[in-house]
Amino acid sequence: MLSSLPILNHCSSSPEGATPAGPAHVSAGSVAPGPRTNPVPPGLHANSVAAGLRTGRSASAADGASHLESPLTETDLLHWLREEDDSRLETLYAAADRVRHEMVGDAVHLRGLVEISNHCVRQCAYCGLRAGHTKLVRYRLSADEVLACARQAVEFGYGTVVMQAGEDYGIGRSWLARLIRQIKAETPLAVTLSLGERPVEDLAAWREAGADRYLLRFETSDRELYARIHPPLGSRPSDRVELLRTLRGLGYEIGSGVMVGIPGQTYETLARDLLLFRELDLDMIGVGPYIPHPDTPLGERLATRPEPHPSADQVPNTEKMAYKMVALTRLMCPQANIPGTTAIATLNQESGRELALCRGANVVMPNLTPVQYRAMYEIYPAKACITETAQHCRGCLKSRIRSLGRTIGTGPGGRRRLA
């Protein structure tokens, strides 16, 4: 149970696994808000923080050029992605935390996640929901079940409901449009969808019905790697980057992201992913470690034919690598909403989300899916919190967030675009 685990009581500069300074280990029932660390010094803004991380330069408020005019270069990104020295990485994490504080504030927004279906027509080589995973018991929530989850989100004070599924054409255009309209009519919630590469006609109908945001991870900017892990659906081409641009044109806030450490991913690819985040001007960005599923082609290969000497260019799927990506994403896209992902929490259930929140993240997505379905939404095994009730998860997360000296966000929590 997460509530029985030790939790951090403020953002610390300690590397993962180390004990932060101060009264860091307390029970969830006796959390007192801790002080914010790494306060923003007078005159130090996102521009100078980012400039200070440029290769060979030191941080200074006098660096001058705006962050948006002088972002980290690909060379800078490669340097930080390959950095392994924990003391140096604390500089990166502290910079990301300062930019997060300045650009999106100290509120942590809670998005209620509802996994409405685990059906999927795709054959992605990494995903446990893939159509070829015939051992997986499939489910699809009814409209009443989804509405009950949305009402629970309101009761818990969440500002958004996120409806997530595989690419499931059993979720019809009209059915979901009616459901979105009902949620918008009955609640003040923002509605986020994450339903795969649906036809433009579906996406337009759901936007017209009131959906606010759409999440679609492009997974990697490397077209060759993408083709290997994400086969096309029949003759229909797959171009998630172009689909994200289409979603923007339809009026959605758009979210995307990548897996960190998928086999075949290089540091150069990951640096280009970060540059693409910025080029797309994403409103939401999720990054998390690749966690192998044994019943997928990639997972089976890693289990049966592990690479004894991985290439020096292969990105590791480690917790540390995920934190580096969270921090660099914040610096590249300072206004974006960035979650502390479930995948990070799965690698470190004790404090993974808290460490992500201290390294640039400002969103957490507590699970509202009815408990009897959660284990069946098995994108990867041993996901965090699959046995926790929604009520328990709410209390635990709020205590953990307050223990960092952060506040609970209110309202829809959309992207704040600053001049």
Q: Domains in the chain, start-ordered, CATH in brackets?
A: 102-408 (3.20.20.70)
Tokens 């991913």 correspond to what residue? 265
User: Which one of 18-22, 45-49, 123-127 scores highest in mean pLDDT?
Assistant: 123-127
**What pLDDT band is residue 56 in, cutting at 50, 70 and 90?**
very low
Please report, in angstroms and rounded to a whole number, the separation of the first and last CA atoms in the chain: 43
- Of all residues in the chain, what percent carry a pLDDT higher than 90? 75
Tokens 């689909």 correspond to what residue? 243
What are the DSSP calls for 203-220, one per residue? HHHHHHHT--EEE---B-
Lowest-pLDDT choice from 158-167, 194-203, 255-264, 306-315: 306-315
Lowest-pLDDT choice from 59-68, 88-97, 232-241, 359-368: 59-68
Q: Which residues contact 242 (CB under 8 A, 6 or more apart)?
A: none
In this structure, the chain runs to a length of 419
Residue 82 has pLDDT above 60, yes or no: yes
Lowest-pLDDT choice from 69-83, 248-262, 356-370: 69-83
**Residue 145: strand pairing partners:** none
Average pLDDT, the chain: 86
Lowest-pLDDT choice from 20-29, 347-356, 408-417: 20-29
pLDDT tens-digit readout, 104-129: 999 999 999 999 999 999 999 999 99
235 CB burial (10 A radius; 0-12, 13-18, 19+): exposed
The two tokens of residue 365 are 């997505």
Q: Which residues contact 214 (CB under 8 A, 6 or more apart)?
A: 192, 193, 194, 203, 247, 252, 253, 254, 255
Structure confidence at residue 281 (pLDDT)? 97
The two tokens of residue 12 are 């610390």
d(CA 72, CA 400): 32
**What pLDDT band is residue 8 in, cutting at 50, 70 and 90?**
very low
